[in-house]
Amino acid sequence: MTQLILEQALNGLQFGLMLFLLAAGLTLVFGIMDMINLAHGSLYMVGAYLAAAAAQASGSFLVGVGAAVAGTALLGVALEVSLLRRLYARDHLAQVLATFALILLANEGVRMLWGAQPVLLNAPDALAGPVEIGGFFYPSYRLLIIVVGLAVAALLYWVVARTRVGMWVRAGASNREMTEALGVDVRRLFTVVFACGAGLCALAGALLGPLLAVQVGMGESILILAFVVIVIGGIGSMRGALVGSLLVGLVDTLGRAVLPSLLREFASPEVASTLGPALASILIYVLMAAILFWRPEGLFPARA
């Protein structure tokens, strides 16, 4: 049982760090631009498809990841300049409707380019086997995802907390009008932030592609979790996005692994196998409700 908990805790850490890559861009877009972008998950899907196509064409997984990040970042710039800029001054309902239309367009565009069937994206052959950690074996590719996620989180913290660009980002999240009055080109800053968020989505999609199915509509379910993360962590807070992602990843993964086993101690196997997954699927929403009851603005609100 201890080995199972340790293994699932690592899986939760890996999943949480990938959620952070999505939530980091989303919380910046939402916190700075006051823009609800429902198409954020579609960028994650496009990144996964671009990674699969580039990896198959080049024979290199690393080339696939790089092509996905660069291509999706450029797509993000094109979307921000051509459409999203026109939505900043609109109300949230207009933003929701417009970006929901982008979801439909992205799904149909991917279906036309790659077909309706899932696309195969294989992990590197060198990372196909397990490694031994503390007496048990753990997939080396999942371990790589954890390392990459921690490295990206550290880099984002350094950029946001220690650089001039990060100072502009934090200032824009706190008071956009004052930031513009101090001479910061907020329009260009928005474009750069959106491109970085799109690139992070693509990185998450490319890294999770070998573990999950690369298929049409894969961004919608994970987008819901990304919104849960930024609500728990606090809108516009990078630290909140990281803490919220880790909490959601661990609670979701450990809940699905441990809760059915615990229910078998008090109920029949049939009831436990039915009730366990159902309860596990709502644990993160119970967590969100509890945190919002305690701290309505999230754990680390940017404007605190």
Q: Which of 26-30, 32-36, 208-212, 213-217 is predicted least confidently? A: 32-36
CB 63 within 8 A of CB 54: yes
What is the average pLDDT across 288-297?
89
Strand partners, 137: 132
CA-CA distance, 49 to 75, in Å (whole number)? 13
Residue 236 CB: number of other CB atoms within 10 A? Answer: 26
pLDDT at position 173: 65
Residues 6+ apart with CB under 8 A from 16: 245, 246, 247, 248, 249, 250
Enter the pTM of the model.
Answer: 0.89
Whether 202 has a pLDDT exceeding 80, the answer reads yes
CB 33 within 8 A of CB 193: yes
pLDDT tens digits for range 225-270? 888 898 898 877 788 889 999 999 888 888 887 777 777 777 777 7
Provide the pLDDT confidence category of residue 27 given band limits of 50, 70 and 90.
Answer: confident
pLDDT at position 6: 81
CA-CA distance, 249 to 229, in Å (whole number)? 9
pLDDT at position 107: 92
Provide the pLDDT confidence category of residue 1 given band limits of 50, 70 and 90.
Answer: low
CA-CA distance, 15 to 51, in Å (whole number)? 19
CA-CA distance, 56 to 61, in Å (whole number)? 8
What is the average pLDDT across 24-38?
78
Whether 177 has a pLDDT exceeding 80, the answer reads no
The DSSP 8-state label assigned to residue 214 in this structure reads: B
Residue 38 CB: number of other CB atoms within 10 A? Answer: 19
pLDDT tens digits for range 73-127? 999 999 988 888 888 778 888 888 999 999 999 999 999 999 888 888 888 888 7
Q: What 3-state DSSP class applies to 150?
A: helix
CA-CA distance, 7 to 253, in Å (whole number)? 10
Residues 6+ apart with CB under 8 A from 148: 17, 203, 207
pLDDT at position 303: 57
pLDDT at position 105: 92
279 by Cβ neighbours in 10 Å (0-12 / 13-18 / 19+) ranks as: middle
pLDDT at position 151: 92
Q: Which of 174, 191, 152, 180 is nearest to 302 (CA)?
A: 174
pLDDT tens digits for range 39-57? 888 999 999 999 999 999 9
Locate 202 and state its tokens: 């693509």
Q: Fold for 2-294, please state it.
A: ABC transporter involved in vitamin B12 uptake, BtuC (1.10.3470)
Q: What is the pLDDT of the chain when averaged over all its residues? A: 85
Runs of H (alpha helix) within 59-163: 61-82, 92-114, 140-162
Locate 257 and state its tokens: 């692994």
